[in-house]
Structure formats: C-alpha cells, structure tokens
Amino acid sequence: MLPVVPSSLPPAGDDPLAPLLDLAGVRESVDRARTACEELRWHEAFRRRWREVRAEADVRAACAGAAVDGARVPLDVLRGVATGVDRVGSGDGSGGVPGEAAGGDPADLRVAVGALRATVLAATWRPDLGARTAAAPPPLGQVLARLHAAAGAGWLPEADLGRVRSGDAAPRDLTGPGPAPDGAGAAERLALLTRTVGATRAPALVVAAVVHGELLAVRPFAAGNGTVARAAARLLVCARGLDPTGAVVPESAWAAAPLPYLATAARFATGTPEGVAAWIGACADAVVAGAAEGRRVADAVLAGRLG
C-alpha cells in the first residue's frame, strides 16, 4: 500500500491527504496551479460561449490523452467524430471506429474514440460554469468503472469493461510504474482510494494527483488504465473547483513528454515523500500548461478559428 493513501481511514476530523501539503514544494504547486486557472477564468469567451470552449477542450484532451498511450490520431479526425461529421460504428452502442473517410490506423482510432467517450462521459458530471449548486459526482469507484466501460468499448472484451482485474491476471498496459497488485489487491486499493477521496478536503490538485498516480500504479483494469486515470483527474480538477471553466487540458503536457510523465508516475508509485512531491509538482505543471491550452481554445472560439 502506498504510504500516501493510509491503510485505514483516520479518526473523524482528520484528513487523510492533509499531510501531503507539508511535503517539499507541494503548497507552491497548489498555488501556481490555482493562479493559472484563475487567470483563465476571466477570458472573455467564458461569458457566453463556455460550452463551445469546453467541447473543444474535451476533444483536445481525448486526442492528447490517446497520444500518451501511443494512439496518435489527428485532432480534426477526432473532432469530426465528436461533431458527427465522421460516422462512428453502426450507431447501435456496440462501439466502433470512425468510417473509412476518417482514415488512420483502426486500432489507434478505437483507442482515441474510447478516450473521447470517456471524456464526454466525465463531462456529464461537471458543474455548469457559474452554477451556484451542482450535484456531486457518484462515488469514485462508480465513476472509474463507468469511465472504463466507455473507454474500452469497441476494443476490449465486453467481460473486461468496467471490471477490476480478477485473480492473477496482469494489466496489459503501462509497465513503466512497476509491478501491479493482483486482482484482489487492486480491488482493495481501489476501495481504499474511493474512501479516501470521499473523506478528504485537500486541494483539488492534490486529490486529482493522488487519484491519477494511484490508478497508474495499481492499474486496476485489464487495459485502458491511463485513459481512466487522466479522465478522472481532469474531472476532479473541475468538480472540486480548481478549474471551474472545465477547459484546462493537462493531457497536452503529458502528450508532449510521455516518457517523463511515466517516469514521474513511477516515482509516485514508490511512495517516497520525494516521489510523491515530484508527482504533485508535475501535475501542477500539467495544469499550468493545460490552462495555456485552454486559453488557446478560448481564443480560437472567439475568433471562429476552430477546424
């Protein structure tokens, strides 16, 4: 068990993630991520066209996230899928890939379209911009299962969708962070992570970083764990108030440097204070870069320059 996620919930009144704020550089990481998101919030596009900005940011997040996993699909192809320009599957919900007109490698398209599905699903749990109240997302375990079912449809066996690995079956992705626990261990870690997220009031950046890093370390599903981890982290960044615009695209930073991303995730998986602090700092850097990408999206929406 990673020391950053306690083996049992603490006494009432204690916060399971609060000690992470005392790690070297973590408070500074929280501050710089908050500043970047606050500056983005005041962009003129969010006055009336925030839904358009969010929609484009979601497509870019899915495209960049798929690229991290090696599924590189042109942005305009995935945008065409999102807007209905390119046909997806047969429309029967079974999960397919864009029609031949979209071009590209079919395997990569399946993964990218799965990332888009997961991103669009996560968007349904985000509060509207400016909403005074919003329904809380379901418990984390339910969110992750549904994200995985959306991400894996069309390229993973149906029996694997939304289900934690069983027995000694090893995950088929993300070997960089080291060995993953068996199915029973993964289920236990996932349940603990869900309870921890439900109990903490730590800053959104810290919560999202822990969820992201723990999912990459545990890899509870047969495959598609990276997509689920990034979609869940991005949802938490928005739903917990760090990015009320929903337009920050941290995936753009991860896609630009996938090897450092995986290397820093591996440091988190060691559970050392230095490794955990480095990962939270990297997540803050990704939020800052993602806010810059969100600003580019907002500029393009105002100028009518989207593809």
Q: Residue 196's pLDDT band (boundaries 50, 70, 90)?
A: very high
> Does the pLDDT of residue 130 top 70, yes or no?
yes
**Entry pTM:** 0.91
Report how far apart the first and last C-alpha atoms of the chain are (Å, whole number): 46
The CA radius of gyration of the chain, in Å to the nearest whole number, is 18
Structure confidence at residue 132 as a pLDDT band (50, 70, 90): confident
Residue 93: both structure tokens together: 């919900």
Write out pLDDT tens, residues 12-51.
458 999 999 999 999 999 999 999 999 999 999 999 999 9
Is the Cβ–Cβ distance between 2 and 193 less than 8 Å? no
**Average pLDDT rounded to a whole number, residues 250-268:** 96
User: How far is the C-alpha of 183 from the C-alpha of 194, rounded, in Å?
Assistant: 16
Of 171-180, 188-197, 203-212, minimum mean pLDDT range = 171-180
Of 19-23, 65-69, 176-180, 301-305, the least confident: 176-180
Residue 270 has pLDDT above 70, yes or no: yes
Q: What is the mean pLDDT of the chain?
A: 90
Residue 57 is given by DSSP the state H
Backbone φ and ψ for 98, nearest 5 degrees, come out as -55, 155
With helix as H, strand as E and coil as C, how does 83-130 read? HCCCCECCCCCCCCCECHHHCCCHHHHHHHHHHHHHHHHHHCCCCCCC
Give the separation between CA 249 and CA 293, rounded to whole angstroms: 6
Count CB-CB contacts under 10 A for residue 305: 9
Write down all domains in the chain, each with its CATH number in brackets: 18-128+135-303 (1.10.3290.10)
pLDDT digit string, tens, across residues 98-119? 444 455 689 999 999 999 999 9
